[in-house]
Amino acid sequence: MMRSLDTHALRGQPVIVGAGVAGLLTALRLGDMPCVIVSAAEKPGAGVLASGVGKALGRDEAIADRAAKTLACGAGLASPEVVQQITDAMPHVSEDLARIGVGLDAHDSGAALHAALLAKVHERQNVTIVAPAMLRRLTIIDGHVRGVSLDVGERLLAIDTNIVILASGGACGLFPGALTQGPEIGAGMAVAARAGVEFSDLELIYFHPLTLDEGDARSTGVYAPVEFCKYGVLFDDAGCKLNVEQRDPGSLARDIAVRRAQGRAVFFDITRALTADAFKRDPALNAMVQQCRARGLDPKTQALPVRPAAAFQIGGIKVDVAGRSSIPGLWACGEVACTGFHGASISAGNPLLEAVVCSGFVAESVLGASLSPLCDVSGVRPDRAPLHRQLSMVRQAFGNALGPVRNRAGVLRELDTLSRCSGYDDAALMGCLTMISALMRQESRGVHYRSDFQQRDAVARHSVLTESDMRSVVRTIGRNHFGPTSADAQMLDGVLARDVDFASRL
């Protein structure tokens, strides 16, 4: 932790919240511009990143092929313009990274890429890293970002700035057993929500179907890439095989989730496929085997228990491709942002591609921004009430209501509990926002599946939501006594249309 910090010397510098790939690259791409990186971890980690970085970033892949796959996977919600802008940048990614001293050939794992970026940031004298620290508040004056309040150990610090870039990750950590190694519980999104930012498609969560199941709700961080299905057999404890031919990961996750809800375990057997030739063709296969052995499981001799796990939040803060949000002065990049690139699901490699490419777009936007004079926010002090103290309750609620299969009754039952805490607890706030978004999407599309609305609507619509909208809906639900047995779709439709005018905004 930094023991001394001259906030006056940092006055006016862009503040980047998050030290993952998106945050570090944004700082590096700002060039000589002084900036501040705020990280919740003293030694920022890489989280769950692609093992084949070069492949993820489109090395040896045609632009048209990646764009076509992305649009098909997006199920009508991917923006053709955004998809074109990001995929058009693929051929230049390797050259752009080389300019800042990072070569893809030398850093083809996600962890290695992150470590290389972090080392480059530490070399920059113009970048100040504040860690461990948490963003506690955005100061908004006349509708514009004017400063941030940071919790740094025992101190609350305020920095005057007109530029804040959120790169703080998504909220998959709010799910039990999520496939994430970092504190991705939506802390940055919650702060932005209380500042009034617009969110889009928060209900869209990608669940990885083949995560190692060790029998509890903890995250193992171990998973088999979906393409590994070609190596083995997927079956349940009754001996019934699951059809994996031409199945998208979302439908496979739902199939496994349904069986587990019935009390049945699911196993992935690759014992017959682990040959020397297989390891030579796919180095990632060897890495997975070693991870399993470290946990006392040997894929060469036994089938692996698997389950779906939340792995990537597709929705987030609504931004354009340059990361500009609905609040002037606030940008977002990476998983915390919703650019419209992914649509209703994700295509392999696209989360990393978006973070790498859009960090450049964000930096260009920030460097070209015209800024008004700074304001003195040194007197602003956020509430020091404990944050995320309801985290265990939120995780239980998410597990009960927001898994790969959702329905109205389950969401309403958990929403009633979380809404009572959302005013003072950030985890509960993100829980309510996500649940209201799930209620709004009364269809099944991409990774979002409603057992009570199993068909896809004829017209693809984005969900758009603010904290104020959410509270209006929660109040109306309370007045109308919605409960776990309510199934009156027309009544809820009326609530959403009357109180928040969602019908015109979707």
Q: What is the pLDDT of residue 478?
A: 74
- The CATH architecture annotation of domain 207-308 reads Alpha-Beta Complex (3.90)
The residue ranking higher by pLDDT, 183 or 221, is 221
Q: What is the pLDDT of residue 108?
A: 74
Q: How many whole angstroms separate alpha carbon 101 and alpha carbon 109?
A: 16
Q: What integer is the mean pLDDT of 295-323? A: 95
Q: What is the pLDDT of residue 217?
A: 66
> Which residues touch 462 (CB under 8 Å, ≥6 apart)?
77, 200, 201, 340, 506
Question: Where residue 324 falls among pLDDT bands split at 50, 70, 90?
Answer: very high
Q: What is the pLDDT of residue 489?
A: 47
Q: What is the pLDDT of residue 47?
A: 44
pLDDT at 271 over 50: yes
CATH topology identical between 207-308 and 391-505: no
Q: What is the pLDDT of residue 117?
A: 94
Domain ranges of the chain: 16-203+314-367, 207-308, 391-505
Among 341-355, 443-457, 478-492, the range scoring the smallest mean pLDDT is 478-492
**Beta-strand pair 35-38/205-212:** unpaired
pLDDT at 205 over 90: yes
Q: Considering the entire predicted model, what is its pTM?
A: 0.92
What pairs with residue 268 in β-bridges? 234, 304
Tell me if residue 235 falls in helix, strand or coil: strand
Q: Give backbone dihedrals phi and psi of 133, rounded to 5 degrees, phi first.
A: -155, 155
Q: What is the pLDDT of residue 482?
A: 46
**Which tokens in the block code for residue 415?**
């929403």
pLDDT at 350 over 80: yes
**Cα–Cα–Cα angle for 396, 408, 499, nearest 5°?**
110
Out of 3.10.310.30, 3.90.1300.10, 1.20.58.100, 3.40.50.720, the CATH code matching 391-505 is 1.20.58.100
Q: How many CA atoms lie within 13 A of 246 on its CB side?
A: 0
Among 13-27, 360-374, 471-485, the range scoring the smallest mean pLDDT is 471-485
Q: How many whole angstroms separate alpha carbon 78 and alpha carbon 148?
A: 32
Among 172-176, 266-270, 276-280, the range scoring the smallest mean pLDDT is 276-280
From residue 182, give the alpha-carbon distance in Å to each of 187, 411, 422.
Answer: 12, 26, 23
pLDDT at 216 over 80: no
Residue-averaged pLDDT of the chain: 88
Tell me if residue 412 falls in helix, strand or coil: helix
Q: What is the pLDDT of residue 74?
A: 97
Question: Where residue 484 falls among pLDDT bands split at 50, 70, 90?
Answer: very low
Q: What is the pLDDT of residue 386?
A: 58
Identified catalytic residue from 29, 146, 254, 395? 254
pLDDT at 106 over 80: no
pLDDT at 504 over 60: no
Q: What integer is the mean pLDDT of 202-226? A: 86
User: What is the percent of the chain with per-residue pLDDT over 90, rounded to a whole number?
Assistant: 67
Asked: is 16-203+314-367 a CATH 3.50.50.60 domain? The reply is yes
From residue 213, give the alpha-carbon distance in Å to each of 177, 239, 258, 391.
Answer: 9, 18, 15, 22
Question: Where residue 173 falls among pLDDT bands split at 50, 70, 90?
Answer: very high
Which among 229, 295, 392, 291 has a CA at the least distance from the CA of 48?
Answer: 291
Which among 306, 297, 292, 184 has a CA at the least distance from the CA of 253?
Answer: 306
From residue 43, give the alpha-carbon distance in Å to each of 1, 109, 113.
Answer: 10, 18, 15
Q: What is the pLDDT of residue 48?
A: 46
Question: Where residue 248 falls among pLDDT bands split at 50, 70, 90?
Answer: confident
Q: What integer is the mean pLDDT of 5-9? A: 87
The residue ranking higher by pLDDT, 501 or 316, is 316
Q: What integer is the mean pLDDT of 29-47? A: 80
Is 254 tagged catalytic?
yes
pLDDT at 503 over 70: no
pLDDT at 36 over 90: yes
pLDDT at 76 over 80: yes
Tell me if residue 194 falls in helix, strand or coil: helix
Say how far residue 323 (Cα) sits from the centre of its chain: 15
**Which tokens in the block code for residue 7?**
């906030």
pLDDT at 153 over 50: yes
From residue 239, give the alpha-carbon distance in Å to each of 211, 223, 442.
Answer: 20, 22, 35
Residue type, 400: N
Q: What integer is the mean pLDDT of 207-228? A: 83
> Which residues touch 151 (CB under 8 Å, ≥6 apart)?
133, 134, 135, 136, 384
Q: How many whole angstroms separate alpha carbon 446 and alpha carbon 456?
A: 9
Q: What integer is the mean pLDDT of 474-494? A: 57
Q: How many whole angstroms separate alpha carbon 9 and alpha carbon 12?
A: 9
Q: Give backbone dihedrals phi and psi of 138, rounded to 5 degrees, phi first.
A: -100, 125
Dmax (CA) for the chain in angstroms is: 68
Q: What integer is the mean pLDDT of 171-187? A: 85
Residue range 390-416, pLDDT digits in tens: 899 999 999 999 999 999 999 999 998
Q: What integer is the mean pLDDT of 41-60? A: 68
pLDDT at 50 over 60: no
